[in-house]
Amino acid sequence: MGSVKDLAVIEKPSGEKEGIGEFIFSDRYSVFDWGEMPNHIENKGKALCIIGAYFFEKLEEMGIATHYIGVVENNRVKRIDELNEASNVMRIKLLRVLKPEKIGEAYDYAIYKKERGNFLIPLEIIYRNFLPAGSSVFKRLKNGDLKLEDIWLKEMPFPGQKLEEPILDVSTKLESIDRYITWEEARDIAGLNEEEIREMKEITMAINKLINREVEKAGLINEDGKIEYGFDINRKMIVVDVFGTPDECRFTFNGMPLSKEIARIFYRNTEWYKKVQEAKKKDRIRWKEMVPPPPPLPPRLVELISMLYQACCNEITQTQFFEVPSIGSIAEQIGEIIENP
Residue 3 has pLDDT above 70, yes or no: no
| β-strand partners of 188 | none
- Residues 176-184, mean pLDDT to the nearest whole number: 90
Confidence band of 178 (pLDDT split at 50, 70, 90): confident
H or E stretch at 221: strand 221-231
Top-confidence range, 135-139, 175-179, 269-273? 269-273
pLDDT, mean over the chain: 94
* pLDDT beyond 70 at 180: yes
**How far, in Å, CA of 232 to CA of 209, rounded?**
24
Mean pLDDT of 119-148: 92
Output the pLDDT for position 149: 86
pLDDT digits (tens, 9 = 90+) for 308-341: 999 999 999 999 999 999 999 999 999 888 776 5
Determine which of 2-11, 21-30, 59-68, 123-132 has the lowest per-residue pLDDT on average. Answer: 2-11
Measure the CA–CA gap between 321 and 67, rounded to whole angstroms: 24
The pLDDT, as a whole number, for residue 259 is 80
Residues 6 or more apart whose Cβ sits within 8 Å of residue 323: none
pLDDT of amino acid 87 = 98
Model confidence over 218-273: pLDDT tens digits?
999 999 999 999 999 999 999 999 999 999 999 999 988 888 889 998 999 999 99
Lowest-confidence pick of 97-101, 110-114, 134-138: 134-138
Single-letter code of the amino acid located at 205: M
In the chain, the domains with their CATH numbers are 5-339 (3.30.470.20)
The percent of residues above 70 in pLDDT, for the chain, comes to: 99
Beta strands in the chain (DSSP E): 5-11, 19-25, 68-73, 76-78, 89-94, 101-103, 106-108, 119-131, 161-172, 180-181, 221-231, 237-240, 249-253, 256-257
**What DSSP state is assigned to residue 103?**
E
Cα 52 to Cα 58: distance, rounded to the nearest angstrom: 10
Which segment of 99-113, 191-205, 234-248, 252-266 scores lowest on mean pLDDT?
A: 252-266
2 pLDDT above the threshold of 80: no
Average pLDDT over residues 52-64: 98
Q: Look at 79 and 133; give whichever has higher pLDDT.
A: 79
